Amino acid sequence: MNQPNRPLPEELEGWKRTHTCNELNADHLGEEVCLMGWVQYRRDHGGIIFIDLRDREGLTQVVFYPEIAPQAHAKAHVLRTEFVLAIRGRVEKRPADMVNEKMRTGEIEIQITDFKILNHAETPPFMIEDRMDVSENLRLKYRYLDLRRPSVASNLILRSKITASVRRYLEQLGFLEVETPMLTRSTPEGARDFLVPSRINQSEFYALPQSPQLFKQLLMCGGLDRYFQIVKCFRDEDLRADRQPEFTQIDIEMSFVEEEAVMNMAEEMVRKLFQETLNYELPASFQRMTYDEAIASYGLDKPDIRFDLLLHDVTDIVHGSEFKLFANAELVKAIKVDGGSSLSRKAIDDLTNFVRVYGAQGLAWIKIKEDEWQSPIAKFLSQEERDGLQKRLGLKTEDIVFFQAGPADMVNTALGYLRLELGKIFNLIPEEQFLPVWITDFPLLEWDEDGKRWAAKHHPFTSVQPRHLQTLSENPGQAKARAYDLVLNGNEIGGGSIRIHSPEMQQVMFKALGIGEEEAEEKFGFLLDALKFGAPPHGGIAFGLDRLAMLMAKARSIRDVIAFPKTQKATCLMTEAPARVSSTQLRELGIRLREKTEAS
């Protein structure tokens, strides 16, 4: 807002910065320097004025002495928080009682000789400090102010280091960075597309890519051999959990490779990334686990392997039990917490509500006490069942066991997430550790209950394992894919596969997915054509950059590592997108809104 009485800012007129606000220390004593930045605080101390000057890197204390620089001192009285300054002065040692050992610049201060007010600032809607209590919505509305907070900026600095490290690594391995279209056809990652109406071709729409999957395969068909791109992808999903409608992938594809080559390349990339940006050593070789093993022991295909607390199948032991829920269940699994029997009834009730979110009806539990099993279900369990459980779970006094019984998917999911919750409650997770694990041998297909058909678990261009070719037609659900995911601390950070590179195999896959020849031709004709003209064997992987950066920054949400994120309702509070458009714009596109009131 223009305030008429606001004085005009001063021009730089040749002043140049010599240092950042986080650089100067006792080694620079006596130097004449020039810093630029924002006023963090201003304090007046018996005639002397202090300010903390802030830039992206940190803070430096600046002092105005009336005797040394009377003019500057007089002018300093107008300074307020967030004014933008250029200062010139000399680096001096701080008086002993003002030394701040926690700050990099805490030993020195700048004795000002001259300064310029490069801009004025109104009082910001919140203080630009790390420890401040302000709603995320307000922060997002004024994101440019939020970004001035060092902790927010440091996430973006880390993110930039991550992409720089990835580029360095891939470049040196001969990968080419190639851009692929944003205005394209619908791609088949399985989410809803964002559509863009075409003005020139009315009634027709582009789709924003859910990933560059087909293009990167076509680049391999084009002989480009090794491709990567740090690229925006768009999926119009309901933003439950921590998702964004637009997100960034590190997208990679290679020719003439099998699983080992892609996984080794990706593993080394991630290891380098952690070394170069966090100075953190990941294991020399990442652990591997099949999908079936992950589900069996952890309940989830993205296991957090930093702590044990494994799931145990006890279906055989309690089959036919007097406890009706166990008697005929497809799957009964148990999880035991050593010494966990002190858990209160209230805590157990909370856990029962917790598992309901995953479709569980309730949560059976047993506390192993010195002389009895304390549990609402104990009276239904025979001695044989008790002995069986005791042996399989290695039960000891003061342990607590939780059970889940029912359809396999629900049991695994509910107990899988319960395991994570128990890990938190009992402090079993080494929070400082990063521990990656590869998950391999994924099922090729999964049953889509709504559509009553098989759907691709990864995507329709993923190869079936050669030994499961037969299985694909005989027992589709059992066929394994040449797909792999990289999981870090319970988060899927990357996933990829060896692709189908023959048109015949691609047709077999389409058939398994219930996509007829005509539909395949209409939707993916260009891919089928490309595969006919000598496509090389190829495979790749894509990493979710936002999630990876979030984990590395130890941030709470991916919004914290995105410069301008959207809210859970997919809106941008700063620009107020999405927004209505003018009727002229709509008319040009040949679009009429269905609402009663036409857009203005």
CB of 513 vs ligand ASP, minimal distance in Å = 16
- Do 318 and 385 meet the contact criterion of CB atoms below 8 Å apart? yes
**For residues 529 and 563, what is the distance between their CA atoms, to the nearest angstrom?**
40
Among residues 105 and 497, whose Cβ is nearest to ligand ASP?
Answer: 497
In angstroms, rounded to a whole number, what is the distance separating the alpha carbons of residues 126 and 435?
Answer: 38
Residue closer to ligand ASP, measured from CB, 253 or 385: 253
Q: Report, in Å, the least distance between residue 221 CB and ligand ASP.
A: 15
Count of beta carbons in the 10 Å neighbourhood of residue 393: 19
Contacting positions for ligand ASP (CB under 6 A): 189, 211, 213, 459, 495-497, 540-542
Q: How far is the CB of 484 from ligand ASP (least distance, A)?
A: 10
Minimum Å distance from CB 425 to ligand ASP? Answer: 33
Q: Which is nearer to ligand ASP, 411 or 542 (CB)?
A: 542
Contact 103, 57 (CB under 8 A): no
Q: Nearest approach, Cβ of 304 to ligand ASP (angstroms)?
A: 21
- Least Å distance between CB 565 and ligand ASP? 20
Cβ neighbours, 10 Å, residue 70: 11
Minimum gap (Å) between residue 176 Cβ and ligand ASP = 16
Task: Please say which residue, 155 or 497, places its beta carbon nearer to ligand ASP.
Answer: 497
> Shortest distance, CB of residue 544 to ligand ASP, whole angstroms?
9
Give the shortest CB-161-to-ligand ASP separation in angstroms.
Answer: 23
Q: CB-based contacts of 289: which residues, under 8 Å, 6+ apart? A: 303, 305, 437, 438, 439, 440
422/542 with CB nearer ligand ASP: 542
Sign of CA dihedral 113, 118, 122, 124: negative
Residue 47: CB atoms within 10 Å: 10
Q: Which one, 333 or 459, has the nearer CB to ligand ASP? A: 459
Burial of 95 (0-12, 13-18, 19+ CB in 10 A): exposed
Q: Are 89 and 65 in contact (CB under 8 A)?
A: no
Say whether 441 sits in a helix, a strand or coil: coil
**Which C-beta is closer to ligand ASP: that of 309 or that of 481?**
481
Q: Are 198 and 309 in contact (CB under 8 A)?
A: no
Our CB check for ligand ASP shows the closer of 89 and 495 to be 495
Q: Least distance from C-beta 242 to ligand ASP, angstroms? A: 17
Interhelix angle 503-512/517-532, nearest 10 degrees: 160
b vs e for 302-324, b when ≥16 Cβ sit within 10 Å of the residue's Cβ?
Answer: bbbbbbebbbbebeebbeebebe
Q: Which is nearer to ligand ASP, 187 or 297 (CB)?
A: 187
Question: What sign has the CA pseudo-torsion 452, 454, 455, 460?
Answer: negative
**Which of 377, 352, 353 is CA-nearest to residue 363?**
352
Q: Which is nearer to ligand ASP, 443 or 496 (CB)?
A: 496
In the bound state with ligand ASP, the residue whose beta carbon lies nearer, of 358 and 510, is 510
Strands (E), 441-482: 445-448, 453-456
In sequence order, what are the residues at sequence separation of 6 or more whose Cβ sits closer than 8 angstroms to the Cβ of residue 224?
176, 178, 255
Contacts of 438 (CB under 8 A, 6+ apart): 263, 267, 286, 287, 288, 289, 484, 485, 486, 487
Smallest distance, ligand ASP to C-beta of residue 559, A: 21
* C-beta of 105 vs 248, nearer to ligand ASP: 248
d(CA 503, CA 461): 11
Q: How far is the CB of 540 from ligand ASP (least distance, A)?
A: 5
In 3D space, the residue among 251, 107, 286 whose CA is nearest the CA of residue 178 turns out to be 251
